[in-house]
Structure 1
């Protein structure tokens, strides 16, 4: 994914900047576990899904081109429960399955997807990918009229509601969350626009639409069952995690004082102390959780993150390796492990190269993966593959000029046939786009 800020490297930062695209293995794993079944019953390939989590105080979500779904953190943290989030995600999937997004496909340049979608969500886009994996430089996104992107008609919204109900019914999941979320929005119908939630502004709502939704849910033969209890538990932890990273550490510590010793409270405090630069207190909160849950990959990952950013590279690498052994298919954990490995005094570059290629099979648009690949090729003295990796990184960051120059450099320096073919493809692609755009 091209534009992102990881939920790491925010140590000593009071708040993640509004509009950042967040990457976090735990949060994505939970949301994808929900989204993939919905995609399947909708007749869509889950492998095509591009899920973007946007740091925003606005309650909103949106479906866009390229099978992309954007969900704002506020929708997650302010929802009454997981069922409401599931209902909204099913609704956005309805827009995709019904072809409502197709009309945008020809008019939107793929590289502008996030900037434009972010503008429609009422936020600014963020570009990240600094070499040291620190928080990326924030840039203002492209501003467009809200009505020109992902602003559907009443009829389209109603049909997406009906599709969502069908999807949830097929899965045997309750649709009550969608019903309660729409009821919450319906109360805002008579408010002035500036006092409505962003979701209300980008998803036209009327009392008739709410009545149609309620009727569809009422006509179901079964009212569906709640999701597995473990998902509700993981959702609660996801909410706590997002708040702990987005709110100031002081706010988190006030909300989760030391007198509270639940898993969620300790988790929140571990993050707050980490962001305050207090390694000892952070680990004092996290280690008991690891003792209780030794097979939880995301706790080990968080420990690796805390240790890595406090200069404990060898210990961090060990923690990441433990996390990876528990979640071997998670590319973000694998990427973090590679990043830590490259900071060790001695590193097996051939092994880490293999690890990066495993990451790129699933994260071909991840600029940090391409950056680390460039680092490895640079250390190995392969200038041609170094240039190609930098070209790929520039592509993911929406910088065609840099991508073109590095691809041309790769054509002069690379010896590998596959690299030459790819570099040539990049050059032709960019020149074709430039010609098309005048």
Structure 2
């Protein structure tokens, strides 16, 4: 799933909107491969990590409640290299391991986490890839003062720096990226607030803090080693992918003209032509990459998306199935395959129901999964399970009123005991939350 799950269309693909929280299996896989080892050495459970990638022109990242880390696309695309991104992510893990975000836990319910955190990052959040317009606007409109969420003291920032250095040292990874990123920020210290990167505004910096960081890195017995080469290669492709989806196709084609035939250039052009609605040119660029790397699940996934959104549903489904065979544990690819299957003239609803349950085992707060589950239950005529799925979907989006009404509807329509128990649990949870909010 490359940024969006959308209904099939022959229209050109729109640019990623500023402030969208995006989902992409390839990008998430790379970032999680970095974050999981950091979490382990930080004494945190990698399974608890919630990673959010925010489409934003602001350079920023933040840790928040519920073991959540937000990273803006511009931090990825404007970083000098992967080492800087790793350093920043280690720093945010430091905030989590040191309990700096614990004070937010009581005052912020999880349903409003995305909107509030994104407001602190300098943007307004929206759920990307929603099957209806309401989902895209569900999180909009919530604002938060800069000083109240994910805004740390200089002392906390310095201690998170020290923790990041320790984590990277334990992994044998270089901390030079964190050092160079902080040096870049230090040059902005004398600028006016409106001319500073957002990271400066949410992460107070001082010359003393930079000196302390440099001293800690200098005292390390070993200066660490670069990450495995494959990660640097995948990082370069991730940067190209983000830019190709966020910049205009014209900009991408100027930066990656047909005269350039590297893998990255072809990848960028495949996305640009797809966004221009030119299926033939897009596949001309993508197919040679598939010939070179037939076992790359993300290339097959991109092909599936391109075909699906150009109305080639059967071919898209086949591409998604190939991607899934190469990455069987990836819930986003599986979800894309389900979406394509539901557009086929003949579909095995029982099979796709099983597929969705596999997705929900890994992502039980994914509104798209609950949406398609509701679609299947609706087609099967199971009104009770349809209402429950809609309640779960609304719950993941923070729409408590809708979640409550659908849960109550479930009680009138369902007969299965487990369904009724879950509906009652949702009702009790929402009523308790509303009671807390007064």
Say whether the fold is shared (TM-score over 0.5). Answer: yes
Shift of 1:397: 1.2
State whether residues 338 and 356 of structure 2, in contact with CA within 8 Å, keep that contact through their aligned partners in structure 1.
Answer: yes
Contact 1:65 1:104 in 2 (8 A): yes
How many residues were matched structurally? 438
CA spacing shift, 1:126–1:133, aligned 2, 3 Å: closer
- Unaligned runs of 5+ residues in structure 2 are none
CA 139–393 in structure 1, closer or farther in 2 if over 3 Å, else same: closer
Q: Secondary structure at the match of 1:236?
A: helix
Q: Is the 8 A contact 1:388 1:410 kept in 2?
A: yes
Given that 2:53 and 2:70 are in contact with CA atoms closer than 8 Å, whether structure 1 keeps it comes out as: yes
Given that 2:408 and 2:427 are in contact with CA atoms closer than 8 Å, whether structure 1 keeps it comes out as: yes
CA, structure 1 residues 292+33, in 2 after alignment: closer, same or farther (shift >3 Å)? same
Offset at residue 12 of structure 1 (A):
2.6
In the TM superposition, residue 413 of structure 1 has moved relative to its aligned partner by 0.9
CA contact (8 A) 1:2 1:366 kept: no
Deviation (angstroms), 1:11: 6.0
Q: 1:37 maps to which residue?
A: 37
RMSD after superposition: 2.2
CA contact (8 A) 2:139 2:397 kept: no
CA spacing shift, 1:139–1:420, aligned 2, 3 Å: closer
Which string of whole-angstrom CA distances, capped at 9 and with x for unpartnered residues, describes residues 136-166 of structure 1? 3486331121011111011100000000000
1:350 Cα deviation from its structure 2 partner? 0.8
User: Given the superposition, is the C-alpha separation of residues 312 and 84 from structure 1 closer, same or farther in structure 2, using an over 3 Å criterion?
Assistant: same
CA distance in 1, matches of 2:34, 2:59: 19
Q: Hey, which bits of structure 1, 4+ residues long, moved more than 2 A?
A: 1-15, 127-141
Change (3 A) 1:416 1:398: same
Task: Report the CA distance shift for 1:59/1:6 in structure 2 as closer, same or farther (over 3 A).
Answer: farther
CA shift, 1:15, in A, is 2.5
1:10, 1:275 within 8 Å by CA — same for their partners in 2?
no
Q: Within 1, Cα distance between the matches of 2:334 and 2:113? A: 27
Question: Which whole-Å deviations, capped at 9, do the CAs of 1:65-86 have from their partners, x for residues lacking one?
Answer: 0000000000000000000000
Name whichever of 151-160 and 125-134 sits farther off: 125-134
Cα pair distance change 1:189/1:206, threshold 3 Å:
same
Match of residue 125 from structure 1: 125
In the aligned structure 2, how far is the partner of 1:321 from the partner of 1:251? 32
Q: TM-score by structure 1 length?
A: 0.97
Structure 1 residues 135 and 234, CA gap change in structure 2 (3 angstroms):
farther
Cα offset for 1:112?
1.1
C-alpha distance in 2, partners of 1:253/1:4?
22
Q: What corresponds to 2:396 in structure 1?
A: 396
Q: Find the counterpart in structure 2 of residue 138 from structure 1.
A: 138
Note the alpha carbon deviations across 1:10-50, whole angstroms, 9 max, x for none: 96355311100000000000000000000000000000000
Paired residue for 2:290?
A: 290
Alpha carbons 2:331, 2:363 under 8 Å: kept: yes
The answer on whether the counterparts of 2:21 and 2:54 sit within 8 Å (CA) in structure 1 is yes
- Distance, in Å, in 2 between the alignment partners of 1:218 and 1:130 is 48
CA contact (8 A) 1:5 1:129 kept: yes
Rate the CA distance shift 1:176–1:9 in 2: closer, same or farther, 3 A: farther
1:422, distance to aligned residue in structure 2 (A)? 0.3
Name 2:91's counterpart in structure 1. 91
CA change 1:167–1:108 in 2 (3 A) is: same
Conserved in 1, the CA contact under 8 Å of 2:2 and 2:25?
A: no
Asked if 2 retains the 8 angstrom alpha-carbon contact of 1:133 and 1:368, the reply is no
CA distance in 1, matches of 2:256, 2:369: 35
2:90 and 2:345 mapped to 1: Cα distance? 48
| Secondary structure of residue in 2 paired with 1:140 | coil
Deviations 1:114-139 (A, max 9, x none): 11111110111114564369993486
Distance 2:338 2:382 in 1: 19
Q: Deviations over 1:178-205 (max 9, x none)?
A: 0000000001111111111110111000
Farther-moved stretch of structure 1 (68-77 vs 107-116): 107-116
